[in-house]
Amino acid sequence: MARVVQHARPKSGGSRVPNVRSPVRTIKRTQEVDEAIKPGALLKTLLEDPVRFVSSQREELRAGMSLEAARAANYEVVNDTTPEKTRTRESYVSEDVPPADDEETAGASSTQPLYAPRLSARFPRTQMRAAGLYNRGNTCYLNSVMQALLHTPPLATALLTQNLSTLLGRYGVPHNAKQAAKAANSFNVMAALKDFFERAWQGGSATPSQFINNLRKFAKPLRPGRQEDAHEYLRLLLEALQQASTCFPLEKLRPNDPLLTTTLVQDIFGGRLRSRVSCHSCRYNSDTFDPIMDLSLDVRKGINSIKQALDAFTAPESLSGTEKYKCDSCKKRVDATKRFSIDAAPMALTVHLKRFGIFGNKINRPVSYSERLHLGKYMSERTKGFGADDATLSTAGAAQQYRLYAVVHHFGSGPNVGHYVASVRAPDGQWLRMDDSYVTRLPKCPLDDPSAYVLFYLREPVALDVATASLAPLEKRKPASPEKRKRPKEHAPLPLDDDALGEPLERGEYESLVKTRRAAKTSDSSDEASVNHELPALSHTDTEPRPLKPRELKKRKKRRLAQERDGASHHMPRS
């Protein structure tokens, strides 16, 4: 133990003690320095990396271990060698997340789409071949849906060519340590789907093990090991992908915020329905818009084709009697008409046929469907001929043409029994039957199959000149040629009864009418030749009266001669 010597203070007025450093103060400073530099390894670690976490192979965890996560959490990076002025947008967690001190950039990024890259309607390579999927016990419903998604060209191209941060968008990646911890303890559907696509497109056979093991985390109504409905699994999976892209918003979002429609899954599968109620009294239209991920069509009541189902879906419904509509303009209950229409068509249209009843029975009747589907007559009037992206005229057409690329089949008597398989169109155009791990070739597209349950259509691009020509308004059409504009209009023929002839004509008017007939194309007719023989000398006039038919001319001549005879008899003197 160090010896402590207490020095007495000099008395007032006495001699001054020399300036000697206090041993107590020296020992105290030495202890503080020792405590500060005692963990030398920790000091060295801090100089190498500003933040150190346990290493992980999951991309969503690695996103929270970088310099970007430290900056987003407002931590000071002590050894950052990047100059502040040369730091770019790529140094942040998301491409579209601006620096906190740049208000103008923040305002501009809030209007940018969550998924920025342009979607492609083609696969990255035409020689690709997807793998069969092993059945892990009543997972055929899951395998068939995953095969349909694997062969969706825009989804496959995005998952195979983009990184996870770009797929999730700026609202799907963590921005601070708390969000990074939440992401570490949750199942990221987008990351699992990207990993599954990369393994499945390598060939051979694969297993969607992550989705089977974590089924209750993103699809709570479904049970592992039990046969489930393929359409319900597809709907829950797409909702989970949408949630993964919007789970870490930078600001509070409204449920109907337009920014939520710019995610990857919404750009591919998202559409919009319009429900219009038209008042019969004041003609006021009340519109309601609902987002959709698929189109469920009723195939009961004698419907035998997709076109009939679409006609029934968009048919007007009368609201009268006890179901009268309260008009917002009239402020009273009135008779009205309600009609559904497709206001924004998705890039990939999913058509669900309602084959299962509420009591578990199934409609096994064949429903006719074609390889190409046109939605032009089912679109709303305001956006007729346009899809979800009205600004892209290359995908706009007057008929909204779609082509079939996948079909999910169900064989059985009910939704919880039977077997699911998928028919898909490969990147090279060959149709394949995906029956779990068994893959067989099909000679052609499976049309009008009575087992078809979910149909997947992809929108085909339409040429710009064809789209704009078909959408041109009436007033902008090509004007008529000068010859057609100068051509005189043909008048309707007069009635042939004598009562409709009117007053008798004078000699000059009659001669003018006969002259007009001589100049006509039918001047060589026998009736007109006889009239010209009776009147050889005719005067030329500049005016061209209305042309008459030969039969009408003869009737007028007979009437005139009869009137002349009557007049002559009236002027004869009485005896």
- H or E element that contains 109: helix 103-109
Q: How far is CA 208 from CA 86, 139, 423, 566, in A?
A: 43, 10, 18, 108
Kindly state the tokens that stand for 564. 């002349």
Q: Which of 373, 317, 368, 322 is nearest to 348 (CA)?
A: 373
Q: Buried (b) or exposed (e) across 228-243, using 16+ Cβ within 10 A?
A: bbbbbbbbbbbebbbe
DSSP state of 17: P
Q: Which of 354, 337, 346, 340 is nearest to 311 (CA)?
A: 340
Please answer whether residues 343 and 274 qualify as being in contact, where contact means their C-beta atoms are separated by less than 8 angstroms.
yes
**Cα 297–Cα 303–Cα 306 angle in degrees, nearest 5:** 50
Query: Is 140 tagged catalytic?
Result: yes
In 437-490, at which residue ranges do the beta strands (DSSP E only) sit?
438-441, 452-459
Exactly one of 247, 374, 419, 445 is catalytic; name it: 419
Exactly one of 140, 151, 175, 352 is catalytic; name it: 140
Phi, psi of 71 (to 5 degrees): -65, -40
Kindly state the tokens that stand for 448. 């009008």
Rounded CA separation 394/386 (Å)? 10
Residues 6+ positions from 442 with CB-CB distance below 8 Å: 423, 430, 431, 432, 433
In 5-139, at which residue ranges do the beta strands (DSSP E only) sit?
132-133
Kindly state the tokens that stand for 36. 């500060």
Q: Which residues form the catalytic set?
A: 140, 419
